[in-house]
Amino acid sequence: MENFDIAVIGGGPAGVTAAIYTQRNNLSTVVFEHKLIGGAISTTTAVENAPGFNSIQGPDLGAKYEQQLDFLKVAKKFDSVTGIKKVEKGFELSCESGSAYFAKAVILATGSEYRKLGIPGEDAFKGRGISFCATCDAPFFKNKDVIVIGGGNTALTSALLLSEHCKTVKLVHRRAEFRGEAVLVQQLKDKKVEFVLNKAPVEIKGDKFVTSVEVEDVNTKEKSSLPAQGIFINVGFEPLNSLAKQLGAELTPAGFVKRNEAMETNVAGFFAAGDITGGMANVKQIVTSEAEGCVAAASAYAYVKKASMSDINY
C-alpha cells in the first residue's frame, strides 16, 4: 500500500490546484483521475474566461495542468477510486485496478456528470444520434439538422459550436428565458440559431438512428414533433458523490457535498472542492473551482500538520 500525506480525487481545476498547493508545501500528494487531467475542461472547446489566456482550447488547458503537476513531481494515478474508508490516522483508498493507498487527508474533487432527461428513447438512441458532448461529436453531424436541449451555458456553447458544423441548429428550453450568459445568447442570435422556448422534451424517436424529438408546450400541454438527425442533451450535471456517501459525509438536497468556508466536511480530514460542492456561491466556473481547491489545500495542510492556516507558505 502506497502512502501519501494527501490524496486528491479528481484531476479537474479544483483537484489540480489543491495538489499544486499541497505539494509546494512539502506534503506528498497523489492525484487520482480516471480520464484526463483537466476533467470536464478537456472536453470543451475555446476557454475564454481563464485568467492568463485570451482563448485556449480545453484540451490544451488540461495539458498545461498536467505539465505543472509533472513539474512539481505530483504523483498521478490514472485509476478510479472505488472505495474509501476512515481508519486510524487517515484514510484507506481502493481502486478499480486493485491498487490500495493510504493518505492522512483526502480532498474530494470528483465534480459531476451529465444529467439525463429521463424520457423514452434517451437510452435507446445514445450513440445513435444522441450525444452529451458537442466538443466530442460535432464533426459527426456536419451538414445535419440538430437540436440542443438545455438553457445554461453548456447548452449555449454547444449550440454555438454546432452552428459551425451543422446545417441547422434548434435550441430547445423549457422556460421563456435562458439561464446562460447574455453574451452567448446574442452570439446565437447572430448565428441564426432557432430558439424553441417553453417546450419540454417528452420522447425521442427514431429507427436505427434518431429522427425526431417530441416536445410539449409547458403552458398549453400541446405536443409537437421536431425533426432532427442529432440531439445534444445539456441539462446540467449530477454530482459524483458515491465516495462521500461511503464516508457518511453530509450532502445537500441536490446531492452536492456540504462543506464550510474552509472546505471542511463533517468527516475530519475529508475535504471537498469544485463542482462536487455545487460551486462557490452556486457559480461553477474554472476560477471558483480553483479557489476552492486552494482553500481545501490550506485546510488539509493545517489538518495534517496540526497547524493554523496562517502557517502555510504560499
How do residues 278-306 score in pLDDT, each as one tens digit? 888 777 788 999 999 999 999 999 999 98
- Rounded Cα distance between 252 and 256, Å, is 5
pLDDT, position 281:
74
Instruction: Determine which helix (DSSP H) or strand (DSSP E) holds 213, and give its type and residue range.
Output: strand 210-217
Do 91 and 103 touch, CB atoms closer than 8 A? yes
Enumerate residue ranges in the chain where pLDDT < 70. Answer: 45, 309-314
Do 275 and 111 touch, CB atoms closer than 8 A? yes
pLDDT, position 40:
82
* Prediction pTM value: 0.75
> Which listed residue (60, 79, 95, 133) is catalytic?
133
Beta-ladder partners of 146:
169, 230
Chain-centroid distance, C-alpha 227: 30
Active site residue 136: yes
Task: Tell me the per-residue pLDDT of 248-269, one tens digit each, with 9 for 90 and over.
Answer: 999 999 899 999 999 999 999 9
Task: Tell me the per-residue pLDDT of 201-226, one tens digit each, with 9 for 90 and over.
Answer: 999 999 999 999 999 999 999 999 99
- Rounded Cα distance between 293 and 272, Å, is 8
Active site residue 133: yes
Chain-centroid distance, C-alpha 174: 22
Instruction: Please give the torsion angle defined by the CA atoms of residues 95, 99, 100 and 101, in that order, rounded to the nearest 10 degrees.
Output: -90
Here the cell at position 195 is: 430558439
Distances (CA, A) of 164 to 107, 134, 184, 238: 39, 11, 15, 28
pLDDT, position 45:
67
> Which listed residue (5, 137, 166, 294) is catalytic?
137
- Going from the N-terminus, what domains does the chain have, and what CATH number goes with each? 2-114+237-311 (3.50.50.60), 130-233 (3.50.50.60)
pLDDT, position 48:
81
- Residue 312's region, left for phi above 0, alpha for psi from -120 to 50, else beta, is beta
pLDDT, position 258:
97
